Amino acid sequence: MMVHVLVGFPGAGKTRFRKRMQRREGWRVLSRDDIRRDVFGVEFDESLEDQVSGLYWEMVYELLMSTNSQKPVCLDCTHLTKEVREQTLAAIQVSGHEAVAHVFDVDPEECWKRKKFSYRGGVRSQMSRERFDKLVASYEPVTEDEGFSKIVVHKGRNRG
């Protein structure tokens, strides 16, 4: 089974892309954004991020280890650091699946504009500029030696 790992800043187009692929290709998706909304009823709340992260990783392992479907899986999370990608790849490899990285190469200022003015379910994004800048500063580019079978780069202003 193919596991698609989305890498990019908030507002880069990851969610739009995965929704399109979900409709078109039947991808099964696990998203930190969906966990925030569906479990906690918020768009973003810094005080809940440890809980969101814990649930996300439990669900990643459960999904990858229990699946017998050949439908592709998509992990929609920023995956900005090599450390987080290593954890993701370890789970994928232990489960015997193959991983493709989708890197959303969009200017951080464009991403901030999108995030700042985004509304989902009638709720404006609550991410602070300080939090966004910390995420941008933490970014480590994806490299070929990380273990992805393929790296696909989505460039520019295209939202997915």
**pLDDT value at residue 159:** 43
Task: Write the secondary structure of 65-119 as one string of H (helix), E (strand) and C (coil).
Answer: HHCCCCCCEEEECCCCCHHHHHHHHHHHHHCCCEEEEEEEECCHHHHHHHHHCCE
Beta 119-120 vs 28-31: how paired, if at all?
A: unpaired
- Taken in order 156, 130, 19, 32, the sign of the CA dihedral is positive
Spell out the per-residue pLDDT of the chain, length 160, in tens: 999 999 999 999 999 999 999 999 999 999 999 999 899 988 888 899 999 999 999 999 999 988 667 889 999 999 999 999 999 999 999 999 999 999 999 999 999 988 776 655 555 567 888 999 999 999 999 999 999 999 999 997 544 4
CATH number belonging to domain 2-155: 3.40.50.300
Length of the chain: 160
> Which pTM was predicted?
0.91
Question: Any idea where the domains of the chain sit in the sequence?
Answer: 2-155
- Across 133-142, b (16+ Cβ under 10 Å) vs e yields eebeeebeeb
